[in-house]
Amino acid sequence: MNMRTLCLLLLLCVLPSPSPASSAAPPRLMLATDYAAGIDVSEYWVSEKLDGVRGSWDGRRLRTRSGLAINPPAWFTANWPGVPIDGELWMGRGRFEAVSAIVRAPVADDQAWRRVRFMAFDLPADGRRFEARVMRMRSLLGNGVAWLRPIAQFRVHDAAALDARLKVVVAAGGEGLMLHHRDARYRVGRSEDLLKYKPHDDAEARVVGYTAGQGKYAGMLGALVVVRGDGLRFRLGSGFTDAQRAQPPPIGSWVTYRYNGLTANGVPRFARFLRIRHLRPPADPR
């Protein structure tokens, strides 16, 4: 990283960020907790955890989890049901950066949106238990609009079958699985009735500095110095492409990283960079 690039990055971090022209209070959504062995998985509906942008349809318009208005072409939401839908804007496995860019674009790209689907996984205003909501989504969204679909929900008999499905999904490039208890009502905030099951953990941290690269990375990024929400400072030195090392995330930006558990001191183990978090979610609703 040369001095000119470094100066530009430092300048960016002190300039005020533009406020979204159309943002509102974050939608009140149900959020997952982590899966732990020992539960009776036969009581849960299971779906793939999609690597997309979470979207909330209030019956009239789409918003991100942070409350930012999403403005697709008019045809995209034409004839959608006038009921709230919780789901994911998705383009396929491994396409997060592409769908994120489409969603964040100030002017909708009609052709780009042709590749996007809204995968519904819940009906927040429906007060029935989740199993009934699954059946309602299938009847409400199963026909008509090709890019509005309920996510596939299935059942497994035991933990061994769940692990086998996880292995298949991850081998195909998926992130993991979601488990939703069959009797759960839609409840705002973190819920133990909604679980995420992945082979790794991920979290977010803010970029506060850089270290210089060595050897083949001389003149480029060596590692990001980041700070977690609780103040823990550590480095992310792997997971970058050469292009990202040449133009690293700016100071002040938030990044998502993956890791495999924590050390005895609470430091993420084997932490590696995953992506810049352009649409950072708000604090958990209360």
Q: At which residue do the structure tokens 């052709």 appear?
A: 111
Q: Where are the domains of the chain?
A: 30-197, 201-276
Q: What positions carry a catalytic annotation? A: 49
Phi then psi dihedrals of residue 48, to 5 deg:
-75, 140
Predicted pLDDT of residue 8: 41
**30-197: CATH class:** alpha beta
Predicted pLDDT of residue 23: 62
Asked if 241 and 255 touch (Cβ cutoff 8 Å), the reply is no
User: SS3 for 86?
Assistant: strand
* pLDDT (tens digit per residue) in 256-269: 998 988 888 889 98
Q: Side by side, which strands form the sheet with 254-259? A: 233-236, 221-227, 201-212, 254-259, 272-276
* pLDDT (tens digit per residue) in 5-33: 444 444 444 333 333 445 678 899 999 99
β pairing state of 30-34 and 189-197 = parallel
Q: Give the up-direction half-sphere exposure of residue 168: CA atoms within 13 A in the CB hemisphere.
A: 8
- Which residue in 248, 85, 60, 64 sits closest to 151, CA to CA? 85
Predicted pLDDT of residue 4: 44
Q: Give the up-direction half-sphere exposure of residue 141: CA atoms within 13 A in the CB hemisphere.
A: 28
Q: At which residue do the structure tokens 């083949």 appear?
A: 216
CATH topology of domain 201-276: OB fold (Dihydrolipoamide Acetyltransferase, E2P) (2.40.50)
| Separation of alpha carbons 163 and 67, rounded Å | 35
pLDDT tens for each residue of the chain, 286 residues long: 453 444 444 444 433 333 344 567 889 999 999 999 999 999 999 999 999 999 999 999 999 999 999 999 999 999 999 999 999 999 999 999 999 999 999 899 999 999 999 999 999 999 999 999 999 999 999 777 999 999 999 999 999 999 999 999 999 999 999 999 999 999 999 999 999 999 888 889 999 999 999 999 999 999 999 999 899 999 999 999 999 999 999 999 999 998 988 888 889 989 999 989 888 777 777 6
Predicted pLDDT of residue 22: 58
State if pTM tops 0.85.
no
